[in-house]
Structure 1
Amino acid sequence: MKKINRIILSAVLASSVMGACKESFLEKTPQGELAPSQLQNTDGVEGALIGAYGLLNGNLSGTWGNYSSAPSQWLYGEVASDNAHKGSNSGDQPNMNQIELYQATAVNDNADVMWSRCYEGILRVNNTLRLLAAVQAGSGNKFSDTRAKEIEGEAKMLRAHYYFFLVRLFKNVPYIDENTPTSVAATTKNDKDVYPMIIADLTTAVANLPATKPKGEVGRVDKIAATAYLGKVLLYNKQYGPALTHFKTVMAARPDITTLNFLDNFDVTKENGPESIFAVQHAINPDGSGDNANVGDMLGGLYGNAPVSCCGFFQPTIDLVNAYKTTAAGLPYLDNTYRNAPVILSDFGLTAAQKAAYVLDKTSRVDPRLDYTVGRRSVPYRDWGPMAGDSWIRDPAYAGPFVGVKHMIEAAQFGTQSVAGANYVTGLNVNIIRLADVYLMAAECEAEANNYEGARTLVNKIRQRAANLPAKQVGGTPAANYLVSQYTTAWTDKATTLKAIHFERRLELALEGHRWYDLVRWGEAKATLEAYSAFEGTYLSSYKNLVFTEKNTYYPIPQPQIDRSKGALSQN
C-alpha cells in the first residue's frame, strides 16, 4: 500500500445526548453517522487512526481553501521570510499580504484555517486513543499488546505534530488530550506551556513504534520518524545534547547523505526513499479527484502559458536567488555581500525590446541547487522546457521574475500524478523532515557543544552532495558557472560556525517551509528580515521599509476561536 488513504469519520462521540428526553426517536443514530458503540472495535480504531493521519495534508473537504494549513508551510515558513513572495498580484488573497508584510491581525482567515485544521487533527487523535482504551478494556476482540502500543505511538506522534505546528506559530494554545471531557475542552485556557506534553507524546512514540513501518504501510510513522521529530522539538527548546543523541540515531539508521540524490526529494516517482524521514502522503484519488492530494500547494501553480496555469503564487525572492552566488572558492557569501553587484535579476527591469532580445548570462557563479529550487528565464524548468519569463508569471512588477520548482512535478507525470484539467493539484508528497534537515540540525547541536569540527563535517557532507548535481544545460553548455565547494579551513568559534550552518539551511531547505521558523528560533528574524527588506525593496517597492517587531515572532489567536471559547482563550 503506497499511500494511506484519508478517511473522514463523522461520529458522535459524546457520552450522552439530551439525557432528559425519553422519546425513542431521540435515541436513534442519525443516518450518515456512526454511534460510539459502532466504533468500539478494532476496525473502528484503525479507521479513526487513518482519519487522524488524514489531516496531515491540512484538508477537511474539497481542494480549495487549504493554503494556510499546507504541510509545506509555504505561507508562514517561506512567504513570511526572506525566501518567497506571496506572488500573484497585490489584490489576490489580501490577507496573505498581511502575513508577508508582518501586519497580520486576529481576524486574518489564514490563521483561523491553520488553527482549525490542526485542532481537527488533534480531535481525531484523541478520539482514536479513547476508542483504543475502550476496546482494550472491553470484553470483545482486542488488539495484541504489540499492535495496541503501535497505535498509541502512531496517534501520539500525530498529536505531537499538530501541536508543534500550532505552538510554534501561535505560542499560547490550549492543550486538550483524550482525557479532557468534552464539556471542558471548549473552555480550556491557553495559559500553559504545551511543549512538555509534545515531548512526552514523542517520547512515547519513540518507545512504542517499531523500526519498520507499522502494518507494512509506507505512509505510517515509525521509530526513526518519531526519533527525528523528538530531536527537532528538543532543539527548539535548546536541549541540544539530548537532541543530538536522537539525530545521531537517525543518521546512523540511514545511508550517508552523500550517497543520496538531492533531486529524489522532489520527484513524485522517488517518494518515501531513504532521505524521507517523515512525509505527508499525497495521492490522486482513483476517480481522478484530488482531495487526498497536495491541495495546500496548489496556488503555487504557475501562470499564463506555462504548462500549469494556476495561480501564480509562491514566488522566490530576488534575495534568495542571489544568496546562491558563490565566491571564487565556491563558498557562500556569509557576510551577505551576495547582494552586491552584479545582482542576478534574469530579465527583470528590462524594456520590452530588451526582454525580446534577452540572452541568459551564463557567467553567474552559483551553487547548482539554485536552478533546482528556482525557475529563471531561459533555464530549463523540469521537463517543461526553458522557463519563459513574464509569460509564466502573473505580475512580475509586483513579485519579481522567479518561480518555484520544488513543489511542481514533471509534465510527463501529469496524466497519473495530477488532477485532470487542474495540474496544479499533484500527488507529490511533502517532507516534514528529511535527512539533510537532520544533518543540519545535528550540526547546530554540535556547534552549541563547541564541537566546531564535527559541525563542519556535517555541513560539508551536504555541500559535497550539492556538488554532484548535474549542470543545467542551455544550448549545449552549462546555464551558469556552477561551483559549490566544501569548507576546508577549520572552524574555531561558535559565531562563525553557526553563521555557516544557518546559511546552509537556507540554501539546502529553501522553499520547504523552514526559513521563518528558523529565523525566529535563532533570534535573528528582525535583523535578517529588515536587511532583506532594504535590498528587496530596491527592486520591488511593495517590500521596502518592512518593520519586524517582537510581536511578529508569533501570531494573534484567531478572533473566531476566542469568541467560540466564550473568553477562555486569551489574546497574545
Structure 2
Amino acid sequence: MKKIHILSIIVAGMLVATSCGKEFLQKLPQGQLSEPQVASKDGVEAELLGAYGILNGNISGSWGNYAAAPSQWLFGEVASDNAHKGSEQTDQPNMNMIENYTSNSANDNLSTMWQVYYEGVLRANSTLKLLKADQEGAKQITSARATEIQGEARMLRAHYYFYLWRIFKNIPFIDENTTLDEAKVKPNNEDIVPKIIDDLKFAIDNLPTTKINGQSGRMDKNIAKAYLGKVYLYQKKWGEALPLFTDVLGGKDITTMPFENNFDVTKEDGAERLMVSKHAINSNGDADNANVGDMLSGLYGSSPVGCCGFYQPTIDLVNAYKVDNNGLPLLDNSYRTNEYKSDLGLAGAAKTNYKLDTTLAFDPRLDYTVGRRGVMYLDYGVMPGDAWIRDATYAGPFVGMKTMIPQSQFAAHAVPGQNYVTDLDVSIIRLADVVLMAAECNIELNNLPTALNLINSIRNRAAKLAPKKTRYGNNAAKYSVKPYTSFPNQDYARKALRFERRLELAMEGHRFFDLVRWGIAKQALESYSSFEGSLLPAYKDLVFNSNNEYWPIPQSEIDRSNNTLEQN
C-alpha cells in the first residue's frame, strides 16, 4: 500500500494542478489512459492506493521531504520547546526560520508541505471521481465496496486537509466536483473545518471496524472516530469529542500495551497503533516508500547510522522528565533548577572523564525517547556524546531515539548503505494519544476522577519500562514514575494533563500544535527560550506572537492563483 506511480493521471484528476505546482499534470504523457479506461475496478483501486501513498509525505524520490513527514517533526516539534533542528547552524537555514519564528512566504519547507498534501487531496478527489464514473457506467465495483472506497478516500482527504489547516489555516477547499478552471482561482476565505468534519462523519458511517483486506494500514471506523474527536478537541467541543474517544477506547487496556513497541520496527502492527503511515524498502532497495521524512534524524559521526545529525531533543525536554520524591513531574517548571545538561560546556580532562550521574530521579520514558551520554542506546552500545552529534554547542548534547531502529535490523529494514533511511512506520494517532485526549475532555467538563484514572493508566504503563543501563551494568538513573493520588482542582488537572502529553508523546509531532490550541504558546515558548538560551545561545530571546501560530502561504502558490489566494 505504498506509493503507486500511476501512468494514468487523468485530466479529470487535475483539480489542483495549478495550486500545487504539479506542471506534469497539465499535459498527458505519452501512453496515458483516458478517464473511461481507468474508470474500472482496477483503476479505481489503484488510484485509491495512490492516495494512501501520500501518507508518508513523499511524492517521489527520497531526499527533500522533511517538512511533509507524517511525524511532522519540523512543525510539531522543532517549532516547539521539545526539539532543535540540530545539525549545524548553517545547515538548512530555512529550517532555522521555522524554529525561531521568522519564516517568510519563500521558505521551501512551506512549499513542500503545501504541494505534498495538496497532492494527497488531488489523489483522493481523483479516486472519488473515477468511482462515480464506474458507478454511473459499467458498475464493476459492488455497491458495498464503492461505499467503503468513498469512506477511505474521504478519510484520507480529511487527514490531508487537517494537516494543511494546522499549518496554514486559510486554505482553499477543492473537492472532486471542482473543475480545473475553478481550482485555479479558488479563494482561501472559507473555513474548511466543517468540510473536514463532513468527510470524517462520512468515514465513520461507512467504514468497517475491521481492516479492509486485512491490511493494517487501511482506514477504519475507529480511526475516523479518533480523528473526528481530535478535530472537535481543536474546536474546544469537549462534549462532542468525548463520546468518540470513549468508543475508540472501549474494552482496551493501555497498560497491557508496552510503550516501547510503538517504536519497534519488528512490532509495527500492535494493538496501540491506530492511524499509521506504513513504510517499506522496495525490493530493489529504492526508498520512495520508506520513512524518508525522518531520515535526517539519523545519528551522526561514529554512530552506526552515520548521518545526518538533525532533530535533537532540547535540554528543556530532557529536564522535564525529572520527578519529585513521589515520582511525579514538576508541574511548576522547577525542573529547570540545577539543570541537567550532560557534558555540555566541559572541556579537556573534565570532558574526557565525564561520568553519568545515576542518582538523578527521572521518569523512565526519558531514556526510551532521548539518547544521552553514558546510557545504553538500543543495541548500538553506550551513547558516547559529541561523537554522535554534529555540533553540540549549537543544538545540545542529546539525540533522539524514537525514529531509530536497532543495528541488528539494518539489513532487513534499512536501505542498503543508508542506515538512516528505514521502513519504520510512523503513528499518526496511537491509543495513548486518544487516552490523553479523552482525559483532556473530562477535565474541561470537570469530570476529574475519570480524567485521573485515564492519566494514571498512562503513568502506570510507563512504570513497567525496564531500566536503561550504563556501560557498567547499573541503572542509568533513579527511575520513578507513579500515579497521581488526586486532582485537587481543575487547574491542577489541566497542568497534569498537558505535562503528561509532553512526556508521553515527545518527539512525535504534537507539541507545537498542542501549545497553540491551548492558547499558551507565547508564554510557554518564550519561557523556554529564556531557559534554553542561557545554555545554548542560538535559542535566546525568541519572540512568539499570535501571527506565529500559523505559517505564511507560499508566495509561489499565491502567484499561481493570480493573487486569488490571500496571504495569512
| TM-score class, shorter | over 0.9
Matched-pair identity in % = 58
Shift of 1:317: 0.2
Other-structure match for 2:114: 115
Other-structure match for 1:22: none
Deviates more, 1:348-357 or 1:373-382: 348-357
The DSSP-based 3-state class of the residue aligned with 2:275 is strand
Other-structure match for 2:301: 304
Which of 538, 558, 564 pairs up with 1:542? Answer: 538
Residue 401 in structure 1 maps to residue 397 in structure 2: yes
Question: CA separation in 2, counterparts of 1:537 and 1:10?
Answer: 51
1:272–1:279 Cα contact (<8 Å) kept: no
Other-structure match for 2:131: 132
The DSSP-based 3-state class of the residue aligned with 2:85 is strand
Q: CA RMSD in A?
A: 1.3
Which of 256, 279, 283 pairs up with 2:280? Answer: 283
Deviations 1:494-535 (A, max 9, x none): 211111000000000000000000000000100000000000
Question: TM-score, normalized by length of structure 1?
Answer: 0.96
Which of 434, 437, 446 pairs up with 1:441? Answer: 437
Question: CA separation in 2, counterparts of 1:329 and 1:30?
Answer: 66
Unaligned residue ranges in structure 1 (runs of 5+): 18-27
Unaligned residue ranges in structure 2 (runs of 5+): 15-26
Question: TM-score, normalized by length of structure 2?
Answer: 0.96
2:13–2:122 Cα contact (<8 Å) kept: no
Residue 213 in structure 1 maps to residue 227 in structure 2: no
Deviations 1:177-236 (A, max 9, x none): 001111101110000000000000000001110011112211111111111111111111
- Report the residue type matching 1:317 in the other structure: T
Question: CA separation in 2, counterparts of 1:371 and 1:30?
Answer: 51
Which of 488, 493, 510 pairs up with 2:489? Answer: 493
When residues 15 and 172 of structure 1 are mapped into structure 2, their CA distance, relative to the original with a 3 A threshold, is closer
When residues 16 and 171 of structure 1 are mapped into structure 2, their CA distance, relative to the original with a 3 A threshold, is closer
Which of 113, 122, 144 pairs up with 1:146? Answer: 144
Question: CA separation in 2, counterparts of 1:412 and 1:568?
Answer: 53
Deviations 1:311-363 (A, max 9, x none): 1000000000000000011000000000001x111111111321211111100
Which of 306, 317, 320 pairs up with 1:320? Answer: 317
1:398–1:542 Cα contact (<8 Å) kept: yes
1:326-365 correspondence to structure 2 within 5 Å: 326-341=323-338, 343-365=339-361
1:24-423 correspondence to structure 2 within 5 Å: 30-138=29-137, 140-252=138-250, 255-341=252-338, 343-423=339-419
2:374–2:383 Cα contact (<8 Å) kept: yes
Question: CA separation in 2, counterparts of 1:267 and 1:70?
Answer: 19
- Report the residue type matching 1:135 in the other structure: D
Residue 7 in structure 1 maps to residue 1 in structure 2: no
Other-structure match for 2:455: 459
Question: CA separation in 2, counterparts of 1:238 and 1:320?
Answer: 26
1:29–1:35 Cα contact (<8 Å) kept: no
- Report the residue type matching 1:364 in the other structure: L
1:319–1:532 Cα contact (<8 Å) kept: yes
Deviations 1:51-82 (A, max 9, x none): 00001111111100000000000000000000
- Report the residue type matching 1:530 in the other structure: E
The DSSP-based 3-state class of the residue aligned with 1:478 is coil
Shift of 1:33: 2.2
Question: CA separation in 1, counterparts of 2:565 and 2:517?
Answer: 24
Q: When the two structures are aligned, how many residues end up with a matched partner?
A: 555
1:265–1:276 Cα contact (<8 Å) kept: yes
Shift of 1:32: 4.3
Deviations 1:383-428 (A, max 9, x none): 1100010000000000000000000100000001000111100000
When residues 12 and 298 of structure 1 are mapped into structure 2, their CA distance, relative to the original with a 3 A threshold, is closer
Question: CA separation in 1, counterparts of 2:33 and 2:492?
Answer: 59
When residues 12 and 430 of structure 1 are mapped into structure 2, their CA distance, relative to the original with a 3 A threshold, is closer
- Report the residue type matching 2:460 in the other structure: Q
Question: CA separation in 2, counterparts of 1:502 and 1:457?
Answer: 15
Question: CA separation in 2, counterparts of 1:16 and 1:143?
Answer: 19
The DSSP-based 3-state class of the residue aligned with 1:211 is coil
Question: CA separation in 2, counterparts of 1:246 and 1:272?
Answer: 22
Question: CA separation in 2, counterparts of 1:452 and 1:198?
Answer: 30
Question: CA separation in 2, counterparts of 1:174 and 1:330?
Answer: 48
Shift of 1:16: 12
